[in-house]
Amino acid sequence: MKRRVVITGIGVVSPFGTGTELFWKSLIDGVSATRRIQSFDPVAHSSQVAGEVIDFDPSAFIDKKEMKRLDRFAQFAIVAGKLALADSGLKIEQEQSSRIGSIVGCGIGGISTMEAQCRVLFEKGPDRVSPFLVPMMISNMASGNMAISLGIKGLNFVIASACASGTHAIGESFHKVQTGELDVAFSGGVEAAVTPLTVAGFSAMKALSTYNDCPEKASRPFDKTRNGFVIAEGGAILVLEELEHARARNARIYAEVIGYAGNDDAHHITAPALEGAAGVMKLALENAGISAADVQYINAHGTSTPLNDQNESKAVHAVFGEHAAKLKVSSIKSMIGHLLGAAGAVEAAATAMTIADGVIPPTINYHEPDPECALDVVPNQAVKMDVRHAISNSFGFGGHNGCVVLKKYS
């Protein structure tokens, strides 16, 4: 028998700053956290805008000596994990630690460490490369270091499926708890890829927004004038817990996870495909055991790129038919930018909080409707609404698609 799985804790590090309450309040207030890049001089880059975690200080969560041995993405994982643990009220006891897992999504890993050590190699020679290069760079250190920090001894791995990584991590964690392999999973995604090389690479693909003169308005999903996504960093960790385990300790429950699916377009290395996006939503609804008409809200992938937003809109219409006109569909990337491998995690967190609080965050910077994106995108202002069922979409380079279905707990 499949067990019920609920979300009992959320920890977020976002371009708004460190903390889940700050993240949620800023979203429903419609605040833009995208700005001109500050971590390096972007003047030579065609895109000079990002959603950076400004003034990030992990010293309250991580020993200062240990911090020097951790890439920024791993620091995000530890901080978000500790915030999620505190929010859940869970106590990780030694005898239960092997029943608790750590499954995290990360698309790129320690790119800033790799860039820095490449400079050392070419300027000073191989003998000067840091012995911490490999353990700082490899992406599995997101879940590895979080597990070490929290004392988690159960199943532990990282999923790297580009921009679907966070959603896949949450979905796979859901299945592990649902089938009894774990009782609790700390799951989500982290990314820290706002670096000169990454920005140059995405810019060379013409994927990034070039609205450099108005950084706070550069991310404009579903708007006719959109011209690319805004790269961002941060992450979120959610505590997924078996229902009876949560009830036994009288845990607060944000929402219930009831469905998940993943598939692949098998179409193109970067361009999306309608069949894949529509297919993964259908599969997730089937896995959840609900119909399309049961859904009130979609937290969209909504990247602000011409192809993605158009494809996702058409996929929603293909799956939901006439019910699509009744759906609320919003993209929080309009406010925080695109967190790449962490995007699905912060968006699942926002979806759970939407269900818990009855408020749908808006799609800001929406002023010129695109006829190819004919959806109610909750333009510019949050909407109060009782949401009983919601889905969160993620679509990544390589054709990776993921969708999770959340439900109001009762």
d(Cα 20, Cα 22) in Å, to the nearest integer? Answer: 5
pLDDT number for residue 1: 74
Can you state the angle between helices 141-150 and 72-88, rounded to 10 degrees? 40
Catalytic residue among 338, 373, 389, 400: 338
The distance of Cα 138 from the centroid of its chain, to the nearest Å, equals 19
d(Cα 24, Cα 347) in Å, to the nearest integer? Answer: 11
Would you give the DSSP letter of residue 393?
E
Residue 401's φ and ψ, nearest 5 degrees, are -125, 140
pLDDT in tens, 245-293: 999 999 999 999 999 999 999 999 999 999 999 999 999 999 999 999 9
Catalytic residue among 301, 317, 389, 400: 301
Q: Which residues pair with 190 in a beta bridge?
A: 235
Domain 5-248, CATH: 3.40.47.10
Would you give the DSSP letter of residue 59?
G
317 has catalytic annotation: no
Q: Is 233 helix (H, G, I), strand (E, B) or coil?
A: coil
Cα–Cα nearest to 246, from 186, 188, 183, 288: 183
Mean pLDDT by 10 residues, the chain (410 residues): 95 98 98 98 98 95 94 98 98 94 98 98 98 97 98 98 98 98 98 98 97 98 98 98 97 98 95 96 98 98 98 98 98 98 98 98 98 98 98 97 97
Q: Tokens 């810019």 appear where? A: 203
How is the chain split into domains, by residue range?
A: 5-248, 260-405
245 has catalytic annotation: no
Catalytic residue among 106, 163, 373, 403: 163
* Topology, domain 260-405: Peroxisomal Thiolase; Chain A, domain 1 (3.40.47)
pLDDT number for residue 242: 98
301 has catalytic annotation: yes
d(Cα 31, Cα 25) in Å, to the nearest integer? Answer: 9
Tokens matching residue 31? 């605040």
